[in-house]
Amino acid sequence: MADLTQLADAIIRGDQGTATAVTRDALADGSSAESILNEGLIAGMEVLGARFKRNEVYVPEVLIAARAMKMAMEVLEPELAKAGVKPVSRFLIGTVRGDLHDIGKNLVAMMLKGAGFEVVDLGVDIPPEKFVERAKETDAQLIGMSALLTTTMPAMEETVEALKAADISAKVIVGGAPVTQGYADKIGADGFAPEAASAVDLAKALLVPDTIRGDTRSLNILG
């Protein structure tokens, strides 16, 4: 069987060529698609996420690693489908109405994909009714909203209200530079995290409510 630590290391370094080559070799050597995903790709992104939290790497390194994972996933996805491997969960994400900023949103989306989530990215300037429509269509378990401007923050509250009115049961996570824990509580959101790596931790915690303890709910998301 292939040494999947080589794949994890390639992801951490953002080495697209090695990541895709090792993925192909691992499949050819008989490694399962699920083990390649978990022990290679996700393991590498978890290490990078921990370093990102500690400010040992920065956004450019994460983006490079995410591209390497994307290239490897293009090789792996057909085999995952054949094996019936399911994503951790489906996460719907978008920047709210009136706001065109997407760097934070994109980074969170990449980290979620790197953790095994299926991500439906709506893009920017998304009105409440679009969140509702796509939440129904995709049956997403989690919904993330981003805003970088104080003037667009009210759209978050409107969206939360629209989701509740539509009986959408998905957990709602908000974030961005001006968003606070107090605001998240005020509008009835389920959580937020300080950066993309913590967003993954919170997303996993929200899927298992009993694991949420103390400060876990105080994480900020989509910053």
Q: What is the tens place of the pLDDT at every residue in 47-89?
A: 998 898 899 999 899 889 989 999 999 999 999 989 998 898 9
Give yes or no: residues 203 and 95 share one domain. yes
Instruction: Give the Cα-Cα-Cα angle 133, 136, 139 (nearest 5 degrees).
Output: 140
Compute φ and ψ for 95, nearest 5 degrees.
-90, 135
Give yes or no: residues 111 and 14 share one domain. no
Does residue 38 form part of some domain? yes
Sheet with 142-146, strands from edge to edge, namely 118-121, 90-95, 142-146, 171-175
pTM: 0.81
- Give the CATH number, domain containing residue 45: 1.10.1240.10
Give yes or no: residues 165 and 148 share one domain. yes
Assess whether pLDDT exceeds 70 at residue 209. Answer: no
Give yes or no: residues 104 and 194 share one domain. yes
Cα separation, 62 vs 13, in Å, equals 9
Q: What is the tens place of the pLDDT at every residue in 105-155?
A: 998 998 898 889 999 999 999 999 999 999 999 999 999 999 999 999 999
Give yes or no: residues 134 and 115 share one domain. yes
Cα separation, 107 vs 105, in Å, equals 5
Does residue 211 form part of some domain? yes
Does residue 201 form part of some domain? yes
Assess whether pLDDT exceeds 60 at residue 97. Answer: yes
Give yes or no: residues 42 and 142 share one domain. no
Give yes or no: residues 107 and 190 share one domain. yes
Which sign, positive or negative, has the C-alpha torsion 99, 101, 104, 110?
Answer: positive
Q: Note the pLDDT of residue 194.
A: 67
> H/E element holding 175?
strand 171-175
Assess whether pLDDT exceeds 60 at residue 94. Answer: yes
**Which of 65, 83, 101 lies at the terminal end of a domain, its last residue?**
83
User: DSSP for 61-121?
Assistant: HHHHHHHHHHHHHHHHHHHHHHHTPPPS-EEEEEEBTT----HHHHHHHHHHHHTT-EEEE
Instruction: With CA atoms as reference, report the closest residue to 193 among 112, 79, 129, 88.
Output: 112
Give yes or no: residues 66 and 160 share one domain. no
Does residue 223 form part of some domain? no
Give yes or no: residues 201 and 130 share one domain. yes
- Give the CATH number, domain containing residue 136: 3.40.50.280
- The length of the chain in residues reads 223
Give yes or no: residues 100 and 36 share one domain. no
Q: How many angstroms separate the most distant Cα atoms in the chain?
A: 54
**Parent domain of 152:** 90-218
What is the tally of structural domains in the chain? 2
**Which of 30, 62, 83 lies at the terminal end of a domain, its last residue?**
83
Give yes or no: residues 102 and 208 share one domain. yes
The answer to whether residues 176 and 192 touch, using CB atoms and an 8 Å cutoff, is no
**Which of 55, 83, 111 lies at the terminal end of a domain, its last residue?**
83
The stretch 8-29 carries a mean pLDDT of 96
Give yes or no: residues 105 and 129 share one domain. yes
Q: Note the pLDDT of residue 221.
A: 36
* Mean per-residue pLDDT of the chain: 89
Instruction: pLDDT band for 30, please (50, 70, 90 cuts).
Output: very high
Structure tokens that stand for 156 in this block: 């978050």
